[in-house]
Structure 1
Amino acid sequence: MAYNNFRINFIVRTILLAGSIFAFFYLFFKTELTMTLVLVGLLIAFQIVAMIHYVDRTNRVLNNFLESIRYSDFTRTFQVESLDSSFDKLKKSFNEVIKDFQEVRAEKEENYYYLQTVIQHIGIALIAYSKDGKVELINNATKKLFQVRSLSNIQALKEFSPELVQKLLTINHGENSLIRVQEKDELLQLSVYATEFKIHNRTILLTSIKNIQNELEEKEMESWQKLIRVLTHEIMNSITPISSLSSTITLILKDLAKDLQEQNIADEHFETITEVEGALQTIHKRTDGLLHFVNTYRNLTKIPTPTFSIFPISHLLYNIKGLLAEEMKSKGINCVIQIEPESLEVSADEKLIEQVIINLVQNAMQALEGRENPTIMLKSFLNKRGRITIQIIDNGQGILPNVLDKIFIPFFTTKPQGSGIGLSLSKQILRLHGGNITAYSEVEKETKFTLTF
């Protein structure tokens, strides 16, 4: 409508200008009215200036409108004085278009902030980056996982894990990989999954990274428990009858020997009975030993449900030090306790955690035999991810790398009289607390067991 009014206005102005020009030439050639001719000439000049101003005014408004769209500046408005003129109607139309753009932009910004909120709220680390490693987006979970405030390029993660950086730069669309990262205080098993997409002819990789160490250990522990239940069940079913029969036969042989003695039977029969009785006693002894062995490993599947309470860690560690003080003193071991802050508290089953730490301290005492300046440090603090941590550190002989990976496996032990369930039991107790236990060792330097809650 505004365009039609503009066209009519322009046509009228053109006709009036053409009429004025015709009158000017008519007066010039046909009359001697000089003054009138001058007035008509001035009228023509005024009409030309007015038409130029009218068209230029429209162009300026149109140019401002197009610049607003080009630079996404929708704060500009066009002042409408009256709706009677076509020019003001044009302004009104422009204002309505700008208002529509403002609504669309506001909706897009709301969607953007909504998406940002969702991304930041997700507990899985997300990184969007280009093929050259330039990072375009990370969420809070990424900052927490890698302990960074910002990340501009994937190469900046080399200090954390060169293997992870290499995988992120070479990973393909839809690929899922597992990266193992060993820190001094924690072991991370990172599951990495990548999705590739394009924006404005740019290839972007959106990668999710999740630490699945807890899930892997949970499944591993469940598998061991199922295996132990099956083995103990089958062994008990086989050994119990043997133990019972050997006891019964032994009693029968004793009665038989008594009868032979009363009947004055030859001595060689007594010797044979004695040999058989000795063999049966050996069988009975071994079956009792196997039964004890099986009952010991049943402890891995019969850990009581933790009774949680909040208690100061200082009370726990100083109590353990007091319990083992005499033994440490006899071996010349110096025990140091370091808690930061001193008021640190934890929600756990105090008795179960005490059992775990005592077992680890006793292992450390054995590792310190024959060492100079033997020292055990009981240390507690909040780690860099804000989790309560207790460490048992000794300067003993250390654990070989090929052994370190196996020490939490049930039945595995390097001690001649060891059962191989102590560390497995400790790991399971920590799992019941929603925590974890890891080991780090440098041969002939130190060994560090870390309990994380």
Structure 2
Amino acid sequence: MASERGFRAPSLLLLVLLALLAMAGTLALAAGAGALRDSPRLAVLCMLAAVALALVAWRAVAALGARGARPAAGKSPALALEQQTLLDNALALEARLEHAPIALFRIDLAPGATALVCALNANARRLVAPGRATDPDDLYRQLIAQPVDRRSMIGFDTERGVERALVAVSALSVRGSAQRLVALMPVESELEAEALNAWRQLVHVLTHEIMNSLTPVASLSRTAYDLLDDLREHLPADVNTDLAVALDAISRRAGSLVEFVGSYRSLSNVPPARAELLALSELFERVAILVAPAWRARGGSASFSVEPASLVLMVDAGQLEQALINLLGNAFEATAQVAGAHVNVSARLGRGARLRIDVVDNGPGVPDALIAHIFTPFFTTKKQGGGIGLAMVRQLIHCNGGTVRYAKSIGPGARFVITF
């Protein structure tokens, strides 16, 4: 078909040119014969015929051009539409990958070369940007070492502490080059929420059952101790003494256990948060009035800062205040033997416009072996501690939609980071 169109177009053009040549030849012969001089009418007719032939030739050339262009015009829109569709699909796929709710990485495995890890979307770039993963190279090494087609859990250090993430790896080949596609989803917040819920249920069941048993023991032991006064004259002196001591010990111990278990019950009975717009500068002023005098009384100091001063937060003011008081109480105890003890509470906006509150002291800090356990209910390193202070802090912060982590401080001391 293409060859036929290519043949017909020159043929038509050749016919038009022959017609024009014939017309020109006729006019030349007529002029040479002197007919045009003798007959003005013939001259006019020849001129009209020439104009007519020229018009026919022009229309033929125009039709030839249109006929030659029509197949291209008929083909070009379809091709352009197909190309535009492919471009739109590629852009849509790129947008979906860029905003996928997981971090995507590509690992290039060139033979004889070091495996190269590349972030593919916004979540991946944020994960390895300054302020999140403290050692991106360590994270890359862990990704390269993950097995293909099997999910696994990894942990990496961040400015808020160790964060755990679920990893899945797929192997593929692109243009003959071996690659791996890695999907990484941080799940620390979800795991923390599930752990809190499990502890809350466990504490609720234990305290309920223990209280049901302790309450009658405490009541009956106190009643028996009171009845002993009516029987003293009928019992030997040594028996009276032994019974009095035993019943008093049972009563006191049962009463102490009731109070002890009651304090743990508070972990499972935290009331729902009543969020309100709170100016952090006002909150810090109230907390400073409560705790700063005790620090100054022993030669230390407590400082508070908000940057910018207009920072506000939608949170339950009472619960956040209690969480800060608990953290500051721990800092006060941890720095008891430190000369010039100091604690600083600061609030600022972190990466991603997330509000961050740091509580930093200059005490001995938390040993690395204990960091993973400090928020666990019942766990304590204090001789007189009950192990609910930091557990309550985590519960209160979590109820308000935040997280609290222990972060390794650059200098000496402990650093707790609250993030909303």
Q: Which TM-score applies when normalising by structure 2?
A: 0.79
Instruction: Give the conservation status (yes or no) of the 8 Å contact 2:326–2:389.
Output: yes
Distance in structure 2 (CA, Å) of the matches to 1:136 and 1:398? 36
Which of residues 128, 135, 143 is equivalent to 1:146? 128
Q: How far apart are residue 365 of structure 1 and its match?
A: 1.6
Distance in structure 2 (CA, Å) of the matches to 1:430 and 1:364? 18
Unaligned runs of 5+ in 1: 14-80, 149-156, 261-267
Q: How far apart are residue 142 of structure 1 and its match?
A: 1.9
Q: Identify the residue that residue 98 of structure 1 maps to in structure 2.
A: 76
Q: Deviations over 1:192-212 (max 9, x none)?
A: 222233333333322222211
Q: How far apart are residue 385 of structure 1 and its match?
A: 3.4
Amino acid at match of 2:162: L
Which of residues 136, 141, 148 is equivalent to 1:173? 148
Q: Which moved more, 1:440-449 or 1:360-369?
A: 440-449
Amino acid at match of 1:188: E
Q: 1:175 to 1:9 in 2, by over 3 A?
A: same
Q: 1:441 to 1:99 in 2, by over 3 A?
A: closer
Amino acid at match of 1:211: P
Instruction: Give the conservation status (yes or no) of the 8 Å contact 2:134–2:158.
Output: no
Q: How far apart are residue 136 of structure 1 and its match?
A: 6.6
- 3-state SS, counterpart of residue 178 of structure 1: strand
Aligned length in residues:
370
Q: How far apart are residue 362 of structure 1 and its match?
A: 1.8
Q: How far apart are residue 12 of structure 1 and its match?
A: 12
Distance in structure 2 (CA, Å) of the matches to 1:310 and 1:413? 34
Q: 1:5 to 1:352 in 2, by over 3 A?
A: closer
Q: Deviations over 1:198-240 (max 9, x none)?
A: 3333333222222111001011111111211221122123222
After TM superposition, the structure 1 = structure 2 runs for residues 11-410 of structure 1, keeping only pairs within 5 Å, are 89=67, 91-132=69-110, 133-134=115-116, 138-147=120-129, 160-257=135-232, 260=234, 269-410=236-377
Distance in structure 2 (CA, Å) of the matches to 1:158 and 1:286? 49
Distance in structure 2 (CA, Å) of the matches to 1:104 and 1:12? 35
Q: 1:94 to 1:303 in 2, by over 3 A?
A: same
Q: Identify the residue that residue 448 of structure 1 maps to in structure 2.
A: 415
Q: 1:409 to 1:9 in 2, by over 3 A?
A: closer
> Are 1:423 and 2:396 matched, yes or no?
no
Instruction: Give the conservation status (yes or no) of the 8 Å contact 2:306–2:348.
Output: yes
Instruction: Give the conservation status (yes or no) of the 8 Å contact 1:393–1:446.
Output: yes
Q: Identify the residue that residue 263 of structure 1 maps to in structure 2.
A: none
- 3-state SS, counterpart of residue 385 of structure 1: helix
- 3-state SS, counterpart of residue 416 of structure 2: strand
- 3-state SS, counterpart of residue 254 of structure 1: helix
Q: Deviations over 1:350-404 (max 9, x none)?
A: 1111111111112112222232322211111112332101111111122211122
Q: 1:332 to 1:2 in 2, by over 3 A?
A: same
- 3-state SS, counterpart of residue 346 of structure 1: strand
Q: Deviations over 1:21-57 (max 9, x none)?
A: xxxxxxxxxxxxxxxxxxxxxxxxxxxxxxxxxxxxx
Q: How far apart are residue 172 of structure 1 and its match?
A: 3.5
Q: How far apart are residue 275 of structure 1 and its match?
A: 1.7
Distance in structure 2 (CA, Å) of the matches to 1:293 and 1:234? 14
- 3-state SS, counterpart of residue 141 of structure 1: helix
Q: How far apart are residue 339 of structure 1 and its match?
A: 2.2
Q: Identify the residue that residue 32 of structure 2 maps to in structure 1.
A: none
Q: How far apart are residue 308 of structure 1 and its match?
A: 0.9
Q: How far apart are residue 429 of structure 1 and its match?
A: 0.8
Q: Deviations over 1:262-299 (max 9, x none)?
A: xxxxxx63432332232122111111111111111001
Q: 1:137 to 1:247 in 2, by over 3 A?
A: closer
Instruction: Give the conservation status (yes or no) of the 8 Å contact 2:107–2:179.
Output: yes
Q: 1:100 to 1:292 in 2, by over 3 A?
A: same
Distance in structure 1 (CA, Å) of the matches to 2:395 and 2:81? 57
Amino acid at match of 2:87: E
Instruction: Give the conservation status (yes or no) of the 8 Å contact 1:250–1:281.
Output: yes
Q: Which moved more, 1:407-416 or 1:332-341?
A: 332-341
Q: How far apart are residue 346 of structure 1 and its match?
A: 1.5
Distance in structure 1 (CA, Å) of the matches to 2:348 and 2:286? 18
Q: 1:159 to 1:313 in 2, by over 3 A?
A: closer
Q: How far apart are residue 325 of structure 1 and its match?
A: 2.6
Unaligned runs of 5+ in 2: 14-59
Q: How far apart are residue 135 of structure 1 and its match?
A: 5.9
Amino acid at match of 2:163: L
Distance in structure 2 (CA, Å) of the matches to 1:319 and 1:158? 34
Q: 1:257 to 1:358 in 2, by over 3 A?
A: same
Distance in structure 2 (CA, Å) of the matches to 1:256 and 1:163? 75
Q: How far apart are residue 441 of structure 1 and its match?
A: 4.3
Q: Which TM-score applies when normalising by structure 1?
A: 0.74
Q: Identify the residue that residue 68 of structure 1 maps to in structure 2.
A: none
